[in-house]
């Protein structure tokens, strides 16, 4: 589509990115059919094509209103529209730019501002979130049901032997996952250890930056990326093969480091390298198929268990990893139940479940109905946000798939 960006953004890095994306969109509307919020609300402006049009209008100088903000806020950034789009429109980058412009021009009510500030400053700080979460787990039996559902029961910690191997990979600890589900990275380390790969959680690395980016703090998100790159770089120089991420939401964001820091002279080359070697754990295990098959052959066969796999949006639409985890689980002896509408978001979407609770709960109910249809004994997923969100009201346990693979081995 033709564009004529306004002076305030024309020629800036964001302006150039937005312009290139807008020009790719041919306004065909194919994406609308696979957008979860359009399906729920039936309003063109709550679908990708409508949102793209809104963004185009204000980047070309039209006024930004609360209505504009509302339609952009309702977007999950699930990127289902990108999977459907035949023209390769990178919608998530455009909506990030659009949201930053709207944030500067439309003031939110004080309560919402405080909530967004609290989420932005609290969640990414593991040293703050971890102890607070542990306190919540301790008092869990006394919490009101709504809050209790948000706090996962304390996980039994299983000892992890970390042997040294010539092959090494960095592993992102992240911000909330170590407190909510420490066994995910522990299980990853055990599985990779059996495959002859040592994992390193670099000191100083922390939140990937996605929380800050999605709450309009773009510079804060870049700082998070720079800090992680600084922590990882000495290990990368010493030969670490990959940066493994076990939460697909964080993995999709780490893949964006090259784009985020593309104009930062000091970090652009390093960020490009990190993007190149960033891997979801599903991609890492899929590449070790032969070693995995040999290990599974030696393991004690377990009772065949029916599970439903929920592929997070960040895994299938963000990282474009489709079918790999399902194949690994089947190879490990799990029976996967069919799941209808697998392309649709569960409603977790980072902080969306807190900021848009009504839509989020509708999406979760729909998702759980689809996941439960085959009567699985458990639900597996690949992102801590989805696991916690679905686990709040699922009738069966919701686990990270790597924990199931670890147990099967």
Under the binding rule (CB under 6 A), the answer on residue 102 touching ligand SF4 is no
Determine the Cα–Cα distance for residues 273 and 224; give it in Å rounded to an integer.
Answer: 16
**Distance of CA 28 to CAs 1, 85, 87, 90, 126, Å?**
11, 9, 9, 15, 43
Under the binding rule (CB under 6 A), the answer on residue 77 touching ligand SF4 is yes
Q: Map the footprint of ligand SF4 across residues 165-184, applying CB under 6 A.
A: none
From 31-39, 118-126, 226-234, 323-331, span contacting ligand SF4 (CB under 6 A) = 31-39
Q: Which of 31, 179, 195, 208 is in the footprint of ligand SF4 by CB under 6 A? A: 31
CB 313 within 8 A of CB 347: no
Q: Which residues of 365-375 are buried (b: 16+ CB within 10 A; e: fewer)?
A: ebbbebbbeee
Structure tokens at 48: 């990708």
Nearer to ligand SF4, 78 or 200 (CB): 78
Q: Minimum Å distance from CB 76 to ligand SF4? A: 4
Nearer to ligand SF4, 95 or 292 (CB): 95
* Residue among 23, 107, 27 nearest 65 (CA): 107
Structure tokens at 211: 């929380």
Nearer to ligand SF4, 43 or 66 (CB): 43
CA 8 to chain centroid, in Å, comes to 31
Q: Minimum Å distance from CB 5 to ligand SF4? A: 18
Nearer to ligand SF4, 22 or 195 (CB): 22
Own/partner pairs, 254-257, CB within 8 angstroms, 24+ separation: 254/172, 254/208, 254/225, 254/228, 254/278, 255/318, 255/319, 257/225, 257/229
Nearer to ligand SF4, 23 or 134 (CB): 23
Q: Which residues of 90-120 are buried (b: 16+ CB within 10 A; e: fewer)?
A: bbbbbbbbbbebbbeebebeeeeeebbeebb
Under the binding rule (CB under 6 A), the answer on residue 33 touching ligand SF4 is no
**Residues near 28 by beta carbon (within 8 Å), at least 6 away in sequence:** 86, 87
Binding pattern for the stretch 56-75 against ligand SF4, x by CB under 6 A and - elsewhere: -------------------x
Q: Which of 80, 181, 185, 316 is in the footprint of ligand SF4 by CB under 6 A? A: 80
- State whether residue 200 is helix, strand or coil: strand
* Residue among 140, 168, 142, 164 nearest 152 (CA): 140
- State whether residue 146 is helix, strand or coil: helix
From 26-34, 227-235, 240-248, 270-278, span contacting ligand SF4 (CB under 6 A) = 26-34
Q: Which of 4, 23, 26, 196 is in the footprint of ligand SF4 by CB under 6 A? A: 26
Q: Which of 27, 113, 134, 320 is in the footprint of ligand SF4 by CB under 6 A? A: 27
CB 309 within 8 A of CB 386: no
Nearer to ligand SF4, 98 or 178 (CB): 98
Under the binding rule (CB under 6 A), the answer on residue 81 touching ligand SF4 is yes
Under the binding rule (CB under 6 A), the answer on residue 89 touching ligand SF4 is yes
Nearer to ligand SF4, 76 or 202 (CB): 76
Task: Please count the residues of this chain forming the interface with ligand SF4, following the rule CB under 6 A.
Answer: 26
Q: Which of 36, 124, 220, 318 is in the footprint of ligand SF4 by CB under 6 A? A: 36
Under the binding rule (CB under 6 A), the answer on residue 396 touching ligand SF4 is no
DSSP string, 4-19: ---TTTTTSHHHHHHH
From 46-54, 186-194, 228-236, 397-405, span contacting ligand SF4 (CB under 6 A) = 46-54
Q: Is 80 exposed, middle or buried (0-12, 13-18, 19+ CB in 10 A)?
A: buried
| Beta-bridge partner residues of 390 | none
Q: Minimum Å distance from CB 93 to ligand SF4? A: 11
Q: Map the footprint of ligand SF4 across residues 293-332, applying CB under 6 A.
A: none
Q: Which of 56, 71, 79, 367 is in the footprint of ligand SF4 by CB under 6 A? A: 79
**Distance of CA 136 to CAs 181, 307, 386, Å?**
14, 29, 20
Nearer to ligand SF4, 27 or 70 (CB): 27
Under the binding rule (CB under 6 A), the answer on residue 91 touching ligand SF4 is yes
Q: Minimum Å distance from CB 101 to ligand SF4? A: 17
Residues that bind ligand SF4 (CB under 6 A): 25-31, 35-37, 48-49, 51-52, 75-81, 84-85, 87, 89, 91
């Amino acid at each position: 589509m033709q564009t004529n960006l306004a002076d305030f953004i024309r020629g800036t890095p964001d302006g150039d990115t937005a312009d290139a994306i807008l020009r790719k969109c041919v306004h065909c509307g194919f994406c609308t059919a696979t957008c979860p919020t359009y399906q729920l609300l039936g309003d063109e402006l709550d679908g990708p094509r409508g949102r793209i049009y809104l963004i185009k209008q204000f980047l070309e100088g039209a006024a930004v209103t609360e209505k504009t903000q509302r339609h952009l806020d309702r977007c999950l950034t699930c990127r289902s529209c990108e999977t459907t789009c035949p023209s390769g429109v990178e919608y998530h980058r455009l909506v990030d730019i659009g949201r930053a412009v709207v944030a500067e021009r439309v003031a939110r009510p004080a309560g919402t501002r405080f909530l967004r500030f609290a989420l932005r400053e609290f969640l990414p700080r593991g040293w703050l979130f971890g102890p607070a979460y542990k306190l919540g787990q301790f008092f869990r039996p006394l919490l009101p049901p709504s809050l209790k559902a948000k706090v996962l029961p304390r996980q039994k910690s299983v000892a992890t032997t970390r042997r040294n191997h010539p092959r090494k990979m960095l592993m992102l600890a992240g911000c909330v996952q170590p407190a909510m589900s420490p066994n995910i990275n522990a299980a990853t380390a055990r599985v990779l250890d059996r495959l002859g790969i040592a994992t390193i959680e670099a000191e100083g690395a922390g939140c990937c930056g996605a929380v800050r980016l999605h709450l309009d703090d773009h510079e804060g998100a870049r700082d998070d990326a720079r800090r992680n790159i600084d922590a990882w770089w000495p290990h990368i120089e010493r030969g670490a093969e990959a940066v493994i991420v076990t939460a697909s939401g964080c993995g999709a964001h780490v893949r964006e480091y090259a784009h985020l820091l593309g104009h930062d002279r000091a970090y652009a080359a390093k960020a490009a390298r990190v993007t190149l070697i960033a891997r979801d754990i599903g991609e890492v295990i899929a590449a070790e198929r032969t070693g995995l098959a040999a290990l599974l052959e030696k393991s004690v066969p377990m009772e065949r268990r029916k599970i439903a796999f929920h592929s997070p949006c960040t895994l299938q639409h963000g990282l474009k990893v489709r079918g790999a985890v399902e194949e690994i689980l089947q190879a490990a002896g799990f029976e996967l139940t069919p799941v209808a509408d697998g392309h649709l978001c569960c409603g977790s979407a980072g902080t969306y479940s807190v900021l848009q609770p009504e839509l989020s709960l509708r999406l979760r109910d729909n998702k759980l109905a689809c996941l439960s249809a085959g009567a699985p004994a458990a639900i597996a997923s690949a992102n801590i946000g989805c696991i916690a969100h679905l686990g709040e009201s699922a009738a069966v346990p919701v686990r990270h798939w790597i924990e199931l693979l670890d147990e099967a081995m």
